[in-house]
């Protein structure tokens, strides 16, 4: 594996998977083999193949070459609640070494791995374990997906501050307009651009194709932080 990045979010339901799977596909067009990963996912549906999560399936489908589902999503939890609660209900201990083993297997077969978190930065996974431990322990640079809606400035600044305080590199941020009627959208974006100590890698408009903006973001990530391919 030549590079990896962690996709964090200011909250749940703000488009992390939309961004992560789009970046996987866009990075793959630049030459490297790329895998998406969702280490922990709650809200999984029981299928003939086992528990499956829509976010993880989207990441698997965008990956090239296509990895096994168990490596993309090593911890699949049925209940659509906070992951530590879903794990407790299922009698599952979320084991960091097991997550790392799946990450390493993806890295063996791919040049790049895009790892998507669950919920926000400080969501607990179990006693003494948080989502933030994944990028911190694996030393992954972080891209913050900001859900563009009322309150996003404080949420983004608090998340960015926590990422840096935990010793992780904040590579940049991507805005996703989750509220189609958000007032003062451009003013809020300008404020985020001024106050966040990381570059804006792209803005995704509500109900607009994400591919063009994510292609630009992927090129920046590829050239500045990961690996340059001929």
- On the question of pLDDT at 30 being above 50, the answer is yes
pLDDT class of 229 with cuts at 50, 70, 90: very low
Residue 208 pLDDT > 90, yes or no?
no
Q: Where are the domains of the chain?
A: 3-224
Run of H or E including 6? strand 3-9
On the question of pLDDT at 167 being above 90, the answer is yes
pLDDT band, residue 1 (cuts 50/70/90): low
| 15 confidence band (pLDDT: 50, 70, 90) | very high
Q: Describe the crossing of helices 185-195 and 152-165 by its angle, rounded to 10 degrees.
A: 20
Is the distance from CB of 218 to CB of 30 less than 8 angstroms? yes
β-strand pairing of 124-126 with 200-204: unpaired
The rounded percent of the chain whose pLDDT value lies above 90 is: 90
Residue 38 annotated in active site: yes
- What pLDDT, on a 0 to 100 scale, did the predictor assign at position 215? 94
**Catalytic pick among 2, 16, 38, 139:** 38
**For 98-132, how does the pLDDT look when each residue is reduced to its tens digit (9 = 90+)?**
999 999 999 999 999 999 999 999 999 999 999 99
Q: Cβ(16)–Cβ(53) under 8 Å?
A: no
Q: Any idea which architecture 3-224 has in CATH?
A: 3-Layer(aba) Sandwich (3.40)
Full-model pTM: 0.94
């Amino acid at each position: 594996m030549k590079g990896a990045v962690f996709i964090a979010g200011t909250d749940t339901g703000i488009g992390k998977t939309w961004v992560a799977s789009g970046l996987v596909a866009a990075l793959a067009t630049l030459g490297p083999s790329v895998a998406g990963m969702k280490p922990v996912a709650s809200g999984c549906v029981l299928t003939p193949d086992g528990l499956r999560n829509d976010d993880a399936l989207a990441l698997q489908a965008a990956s090239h070459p296509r990895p096994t589902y168990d490596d993309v999503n090593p911890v699949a939890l049925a209940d659509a609640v906070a992951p530590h609660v879903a794990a407790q209900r299922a009698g599952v201990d979320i084991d960091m070494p097991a997550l790392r083993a799946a990450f390493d297997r993806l890295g063996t077969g791919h040049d790049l791995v895009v790892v998507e978190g669950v919920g926000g930065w400080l969501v607990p996974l179990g006693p003494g374990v948080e989502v933030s431990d994944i990028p911190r322990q694996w030393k992954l640079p972080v891209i913050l997906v900001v859900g563009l809606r009322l309150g996003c400035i404080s949420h983004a600044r608090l998340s960015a501050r926590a990422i840096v305080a935990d010793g992780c590199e904040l590579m940049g941020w991507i805005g996703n307009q989750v509220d189609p009627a958000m007032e003062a959208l451009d003013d809020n974006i300008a404020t985020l651009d001024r106050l966040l100590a990381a570059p804006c890698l792209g803005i995704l408009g509500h109900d607009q194709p994400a591919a063009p903006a994510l292609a630009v973001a992927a090129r920046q990530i590829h050239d500045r932080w990961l690996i340059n391919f001929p």
